[in-house]
Chain A
Amino acid sequence: MALVRVENLVKSFKDLKVIKGLNFELEPGKCIALIGANGAGKTTTLKMLSGLLEPTHGSIHFEGENKDADHRRLIGYLPQHPVFYEWMTAREFLEYAGKLSGLNSREAKERSNELLELVGIDDAKNRRIGKFSGGMKQRLGIAQAIIHRPKLIMLDEPVSALDPFGRREVLELLEKLKQEATVLFSTHILNDAEEVCESILFLHDGEIIESGTMDQFREKYQQSKIDLVFQGRANDYLKSLNNDPKVISIKIEGNKASVFTSDIEEVKSTILNKAVKENWPLFKYEISSISLEDVFMKVVQK
């Protein structure tokens, strides 16, 4: 049974149809990444799920909940650019958020202390939020989103604005959150999704163009690629490969080229043979498996 079932979700702003009919389910206890380019509709989708935006059509159904019930208590949400009351301290804000979510004073206090430690801003807990750096605000944002132990945690681009260290820490935090709740986060950084998520929803231009688990993707797009770097224009050497039935596509950028294939063994030797016979000025020859980024490019181009 899915935690959330989204059916035919549509959102229009005036005449502009931003979300064009989404259908998907979120499995409990999973981490799902919502991937798409800027403007694909990620934020709009999350805002509709969180109740901040009203869908133009379609329904969002939470497991075991009445259709019209207020399901905000089941949700923790972190906007892309969280804004707080600057005059509050981090601890005050967390306790406030906790109490608004239905915790009593004592619970709110305990849970705030616990979370300040978890997200690593314990030393700054009595400082005014107005003095916080972007990374600290992001952590505080995560803490306020999970204070009431929601079943669904939604994070809008939680790591995009962070430096590499902050990114690392937030990703590790997401790993931990996964054990308590379903995590849905949006990102345009594919590596992040690959790292922590089991499932992926590809959003493009307001539509889900591909979805599934990482393993399914690997199977479906089971291709390997050979990266080549030439001294000189790659096009001059690779023309003859175009006719090879085992080669799916060749991507050429100046002196760099990627050859995609379904049969790595055969194409590997074809290329190596040619390279020796025709004396190619090769700089680099590398075999790699397909990454999420390649899948994304392929899917978007379809």
Chain B
Amino acid sequence: MNQWITLLNKEFLEMARNYKWIWVPLTFILLGVMDPLTTYYMPQIIDSVGGLPEGAVIDIPEPSAKEVFIMSLGEYQTIGILIIVLSMMGTIAGERKSGVAQLILVKPVSYISYITSKWTAALTLVVISLFLGFLASWYYTGVLFEFIPFGSFMAAFGLYALWIALVLTLVVFTSATLKHPGAAGMVTLVTVFVFNMLGSYFSHLLEWSPTKLLPYASEMLVSDKWPEHAWPATGMASILIILVLALTVIIFKRKELAD
């Protein structure tokens, strides 16, 4: 346990030294406020870039607060995931590539601690950043449009955070099993993309699929009611996270760490 804390502290210190504690939350907050602001100020934005030609009548319906907030969710699903993958893909692969992993793992370090400490540190950073982003989006949506009930907001956050945790676990898995950080990032992004495609294509068959967590989060916001199939999906996501983590440790243990 002491060793695990030592490893975790090192991860947090590293994140502080290379400013991850600043730029990841900032980017997430930026992603969160982008949609409420641009949607609200859309008429002024169109005016300032030259306006519409004389006589053009375009009726932009005022979107509801819920719609605006759901647009924000979309930003995390694309740019947010990209940032998570890019910032975490080197967490293990980078240490192996540089050779510093040799110095660390020749010490009596438990492989489980090594992997889970990295996972915990990354998860802490990402969940806090995501929460700050969500909160910023919620606040601006509330100020400019209408406040969404906080309970629904928290439930939607919980559902979506679980999906992000699964993505993060995948990054840790690829980073531990592939030698190049770039390859780890690529494989993760392709995997997430393919699963999302399959998930939305076979949407009616895969109600328990973790890829449905984002639609369920939106549904939660729209209806203010916990979606019917949300529990199986959260259960499935949790099981997958544990399985992938276990698999990561098993494969990492068997890998030859030198070269």
Q: Bin chain B's interface residue count.
A: 20 to 34
Output the nearest chain B residue to A148 by Cβ-Cβ distance: B107
Kindly identify which residue among A47, A84, A100, A141 contacts B107, using a CB–CB cutoff of 8 Å.
A100
A97/B6 in contact, CB under 8 A:
no
Contact partner, B99, options A50, A70, A79, Cβ 8 Å: A79
Say yes or no: is B14 at the interface (Cβ < 8 Å to chain A). Answer: yes
Q: Does B63 lie at the interface of the complex (its beta carbon under 8 Å from any beta carbon of A)?
A: no
Q: Is A1 an interface residue when CB atoms closer than 8 A count as contact? A: no
A52: contacting residue among B18, B108, B256, CB under 8 A = B256
List chain A residues, Cβ under 8 A from B7. 100
**Interchain CB contact under 8 A, A52 and B106:** yes
Known A73-B108, A100-B6; judge A82-B258 contact (CB<8 A): no
Set of chain B residues within 8 Å of A141, measured between Cβ atoms: 103
Report the interface size class on chain A: 20 to 34
Whether A283 sits at the interface, judged by CB under 8 Å, is no
Contacts A77-B106, A100-B6 hold; do A87 and B257 have CB atoms under 8 A apart? Answer: no
Per-position binary interface string of chain A over residues 70-106, scored 1 when its CB falls under 8 Å from any chain B CB and 0 otherwise? 1011010101011111011000000011011110100
Task: Known contacts A47-B258, A96-B10, A99-B3; decide if A144 and B108 are in contact (CB<8 Å).
Answer: no
A-contact 0/1 string along B101-117, CB 8 Å cutoff: 01111111100000000
Q: Which of A70, A72, A100 has the most CB of B within 10 A?
A: A100
* B106 & A72 in contact (Cβ 8 Å cutoff): yes
Chain A residues near B98: list those with CB within 8 A: 83
Q: State whether the Cβ of A54 lies closer than 8 Å to any Cβ in chain B.
A: yes
**B17 partner residues in chain A, CB cutoff 8 A:** 87
A51 interface contact, C-beta 8 A: yes
Do the beta carbons of B105 and A85 come within 8 Å of each other?
no
Quick check: is B2 within 8 A (CB to CB) of the other chain?
yes
A97 touches B18 (CB 8 A): no
Within 8 A of A (CB), among B1-25: 2-3, 6-7, 10, 13-14, 17-18
Is B57's CB within 8 Å of the partner chain A?
Answer: no
A52-B258, A70-B108 are contacts. A83–B6 as well, Cβ < 8 Å? no
Question: Which residues of the other chain, A, contact B103 by a CB distance below 8 angstroms?
Answer: 77, 79, 82-84, 97, 141, 144
Bound complex: CA A85 to CA B124 (Å): 21
Contacts of B107 in A (CB 8 A): 72-73, 97, 100-101, 148
* Residue picked from A75, A99, A141, A144, most chain B C-beta under 10 Å: A99
A53 CB-CB contact with B under 8 Å: yes
Q: How many angstroms between the C-alpha atoms of A47 and B18 in the bound complex?
A: 31
Task: Flag if A81 contacts B99 (CB, 8 Å).
Answer: yes
Give Cα distance in the complex from A228 to B258, angstroms: 48
B58 at the interface (CB under 8 A from A): no
B100 at interface, CB cutoff 8 A: yes
Most buried by A among B2, B100, B107: B107
Q: Given A77-B106, A100-B3, A100-B109, A84–B256 Cβ distance below 8 Å?
A: no
A120 to B124, CA, bound (A): 39
The reply to whether A87 and B18 contact each other, CB–CB distance below 8 Å, is yes
**List of B residues within 8 angstroms of A99 by Cβ:** 2-3, 6
Q: How far is the CA of A5 from the CA of B14 in the complex (A)?
A: 40
Q: How far is the CB of B200 from chain A (nearest CB, A)?
A: 41
Instruction: Judge whether B102 and A52 touch: CB under 8 Å.
Output: yes
Contact among A53, A79, A84, A100 for B108, CB-based, below 8 A: A100
Q: How far is the CA of A73 from the CA of B110 in the complex (A)?
A: 11
Residues 4-57 of A at the B interface (beta carbon under 8 Å): 47, 50-54
| Distance A54 CA – B258 CA, assembled complex (angstroms) | 10
Residue pairs across A and B with Cβ atoms less than 8 A apart, 11 shown, are A52-B105, A53-B258, A54-B256, A72-B106, A77-B103, A79-B99, A82-B103, A84-B103, A85-B10, A88-B13, A99-B2
A51-B106, A144-B103 provided; 8 other pairs, C-beta below 8 A?
A47-B258, A50-B106, A53-B256, A73-B108, A83-B99, A97-B103, A100-B7, A104-B2
